[in-house]
Amino acid sequence: VAGRPGVLGALSTTFLWITGNITLYACIAPFLSAHAGIAGGMLSATLVAFGVGAAIGNWGGGRASDRLGPFPALKLSLTGTLATQAALSTLAVTMAPGSAAVAIAIILMMILGAFGWAGHPAQSTRLVGLAPDVAVVALSLNASALYFGIAAGAALGSFVATYGSLW
């Protein structure tokens, strides 16, 4: 199945996309603590906001894929994810920790959850279109790419948090 035209590219997109998202997510607690002053119960609330955003994004991403098609929905999701990660980086270098930084960080985390998880329904639609006769296998491979990306992102995030810089 992975040898079919476009399938390996789609699986690679899933892997790289989730690796990037989870790399940041693996470092998010020390990042938010250092740059927005978010810790303890407020960190929990921030992660809940991310999860709510992810659920909304998954629902909205499915609707966008149905209405716009998988490629426009994927472009929107990936572009939104990149822009939100850039906004979080901008927050880190321009604002001191405090109540304004906390509010902005929570909003950005909710938006990041939404955009970061909005593309998965479109990616599933894309894979079914690339291999309709073996859609179950293509979707299973996509789930594997997702889980390998989660593992790779967690490892990379852990490495960055341990040996690198969180800005």
Measured in degrees and rounded to the nearest 5, phi and psi for residue 94 equal: -120, -20
pLDDT of residue 167: 58
pLDDT of residue 156: 94
pLDDT of residue 96: 86
Q: Mind listing the pLDDT tens digit for each residue in 63-115?
A: 999 999 999 999 999 999 999 999 999 988 898 888 898 999 999 999 999 99
- Determine the residue type at 95: M
- Exposure b/e, 111-121, CB count within 10 A at least 16 = b: bbbbbbbbbbb
pLDDT of residue 148: 98
Compute the mean pLDDT over every residue in the chain, rounded to the nearest whole number. 93
pLDDT of residue 3: 83
| Torsion on CA atoms 167, 114, 9, 144, rounded to nearest 10 | 90
What are the residues whose beta carbons fall under 8 Å from the beta carbon of 97, sequence distance 6 or more?
34, 35, 36, 37
Q: Mind listing the pLDDT tens digit for each residue in 23-46?
A: 988 889 888 998 889 999 999 999
Share of the chain above pLDDT 90, in %: 75
State mean pLDDT over 116-126.
95
pLDDT of residue 166: 61
